[in-house]
Amino acid sequence: MPAQISPSILSADFARLAEEARAVDGADWLHVDVMDNHFVPNLTLGAPVVEALSRATATPLDCHLMIEDPDRWAPRYVEAGAGSVTFHVEAAAAPVRLAREIRAKGARASMALKPGTPVEPYEDLLPELDMLLVMTVEPGFGGQAFLDIMLPKIRRTRQLIDKHGLEMWLQVDGGVSAETVERCAEAGADVFVAGSAVYGADDPAAAVRALRGQAEE
Ligand code: DX5
Ligand code: ZN
């Protein structure tokens, strides 16, 4: 699969969200970080803002829910217009049921693992998912340094996906930049979230193209 880039709106100017969403035209997804001050020590935005964003851009929304009780709230983000909804397995009471519900409502279902959460216990669950997100920083904030120690987990996840012949995507999120994207791609990731590396650039759309080029090398 060709590399996909999902710029994280977390590093954009929240006072100009519509404009910032359109500044990355050409991106495959727009990554929307939903935080609730409980699952992570930060608070961002919720379903009403996702709904407004979905009207402001043609780029599909990739919602990353860093919230407690995703079983209750994730379906609401599909209704708000997300094309992909990622919940954290650490917070989900019934991940299989939740993934099925997200798919039944018409979005891609994705599950995220914090750096300390191993992938192996979830091997049998992978066919229920359209994407697995391996976090490469502790979730909560943009602009953190990439955790190199996550590369073996990316590699092992890729092996599990291939072993089962699954079509699912493997996303990385946190510290992805011109310096780290090639290592992630080499380890087997195919969807790359980048916040500060895109929105911190003078030309965000050009930064997206450059990351995609590097990931495909
Ligand atoms: C962190 C978020 C990320 C964040 C990435 O908890 O999930 O999506 O925006 O930002 P960078 O690319 O700056 O590390
Ligand atoms: Zn994220």
Q: How far is CA 43 from the centre of its chain?
A: 17
Ligand 1 atom nearest to 177, measured from its CA: 12
Catalytic residue among 28, 33, 36, 62: 33
Active site (annotated) includes residue 33: yes
> What is the predicted ipTM?
0.99
Distance of alpha carbon 164 from the chain centroid: 22
Domain 4-216 annotated CATH 3.30.70.260: no
Q: What is the pLDDT along the chain (217 residues), one digit of tens a residue?
A: 799 999 999 999 999 999 999 999 999 999 999 999 999 999 999 999 999 999 999 999 999 999 999 999 999 999 999 999 999 999 999 999 999 999 999 999 999 999 999 999 999 999 999 999 999 999 999 999 999 999 999 999 999 999 999 999 999 999 999 999 999 999 999 999 999 999 999 999 999 999 999 999 8
Global pTM exceeds 0.95: yes
202 is catalytic: no
Q: Residue 55 region, left (φ>0) first, then alpha (ψ -120 to 50), else beta?
A: alpha
Q: Is 203 exposed, middle or buried (0-12, 13-18, 19+ CB in 10 A)?
A: exposed
Ligand 1 binding pocket, CB closer than 6 Å: 8, 10-11, 31, 33, 64, 137, 139-144, 173-176, 193-197
C-alpha–C-alpha distance, residues 29 and 59, integer Å: 6
Q: pLDDT at position 72, please? A: 98
Taking the CA of residue 176 as reference, the ligand 1 atom at the shortest distance is 12
Is residue 33 annotated as involved in ligand binding? yes
Query: For the segment 160-206, what is each residue's pLDDT rounded down to a tens digit?
Result: 999 999 999 999 999 999 999 999 999 999 999 999 999 999 999 99
Q: CA angle 73-74-79, nearest 5°?
A: 100
